[in-house]
Amino acid sequence: MDSLVKIYQGKETVHAVEGVNFEIREGEFVSIIGPSGSGKSTILRMIAGFEEPTEGQVVLDRIDITKRPPFDRDTNMMFQDLALFPNYTVSENIEYGPKQDGVSKKERQEMAAEMLDVVQLEGYGDRAIDELSGGEQQRVALARCMVNRPSVVLFDEPLASLDRQLRRQMTTELSDIQNRTGSTFLYVTHNQEVALSASDRVIVLNDGQIEQIGTPDELYHSP
Ligand code: ADP
Ligand code: ADP
């Protein structure tokens, strides 16, 4: 992110993001934490391509992707409301994106099977979504989000609706999945526990600016 600025011009002018610079390395798990309204989601949406920055650039693998549409960025976003298709099976949900892209049935099935393996839901392909527990649905949503193997996976508070125990379990699983796939994860949360336990580095945002950035150790155990 190079000098990202986002100003919303409505009835009032909102300076949501005010000159944010940071660099994420390939394979890193980075969390952005900060109070509600500090600009976390706006940053994520600008990286995903759902929102155009007022100023600044988003660069991925040395390519300026600021003006590219979301599908042409090698990023994908997982939302809190998982947006699974309730009338589709687990596999049909995971295969949906590749199907839209015209991937052959055989190849799609292989892709889905591989993702079910990654999220440890082998044998769940033919299940209906409403037969799954909350945690299992989270994993299907993650599989669907990662099936195209995007370089960067973006998370907007995906675990906020879960109870504490399940959130802990999913945080550990997310971290394992990230390690297994070598993907880059950028994770927005207001939950410090998630940020501390899973991240390589944490960005603390306040009023649209980076207040601190560092490893969990550097941020929370320094004098
Ligand atoms: P966070 O994710 O940290 O809660 P947001 O990025 O959602 O923060 O919001 C940052 C600021 O931008 C807030 O003041 C919010 O009200 C404002 N904002 C977010 N989206 C819009 C929008 N579409 N139009 C106008 N203001 C917005
Ligand atoms: P959680 O602890 O996440 O609430 P559930 O009690 O919903 O878990 O589910 C526990 C197990 O039962 C899961 O493996 C889930 O797949 C299975 N399950 C839940 N609801 C149904 C259903 N309607 N039909 C078949 N299996 C179900």
Q: Give the tens place of pLDDT for each residue, 193-217.
A: 877 888 999 999 999 999 999 999 9
Average pLDDT score, the chain: 92
pLDDT at 192 over 60: yes
**Atom 12 of ligand 1, nearest CA residue:** 16
Least confident of 138-142, 203-207, 218-222: 218-222
Q: Could you please report the per-residue DSSP string of 50-61?
A: SS--SEEE-EET
The residue-averaged pLDDT of 159-171 equals: 80
State pLDDT tens for residues 28-42: 999 999 999 999 999
For ligand 1, say whether the CB of 157 is within 6 Å of any of its atoms. Answer: no
For ligand 1, say whether the CB of 37 is within 6 Å of any of its atoms. Answer: yes
Interface confidence (ipTM) of the complex: 0.70
pLDDT at 43 over 70: yes
CA of 135 to the centre of ligand 2 (A): 10
State pLDDT tens for residues 120-139: 899 999 999 999 988 899 89
- Please give the pLDDT value at position 222: 60
Spatial CB neighbours of 36, under 8 Å, sequence gap ≥ 6? 190
For ligand 1, say whether the CB of 56 is within 6 Å of any of its atoms. Answer: no
pLDDT at 161 over 80: no
Tell me which residue of 202, 196, 199, 206 sits closest to 214, measured CA to CA. 202
- Please give the pLDDT value at position 173: 85
Mutate to test the pocket of ligand 2, among 133, 139, 166, 167 (most ligand atoms within 8 A of CB): 133
The residue-averaged pLDDT of 108-112 equals: 95
- Please give the pLDDT value at position 209: 98
CA of 124, closest atom in ligand 2 = 16
Least confident of 2-11, 147-156, 186-195: 186-195
The residue-averaged pLDDT of 70-90 equals: 89
Tell me which residue of 134, 142, 120, 198 sits closest to 163, measured CA to CA. 134
CA of 122 to the centre of ligand 2 (A): 16
The residue-averaged pLDDT of 37-52 equals: 96
Region of residue 61 (left: phi > 0; alpha: psi -120 to 50; beta: else): left
Helix, strand, or coil here: 20? strand
Residues in contact with ligand 2 (CB, 6 Å cut-off) = 131-136
Tell me the pTM: 0.85
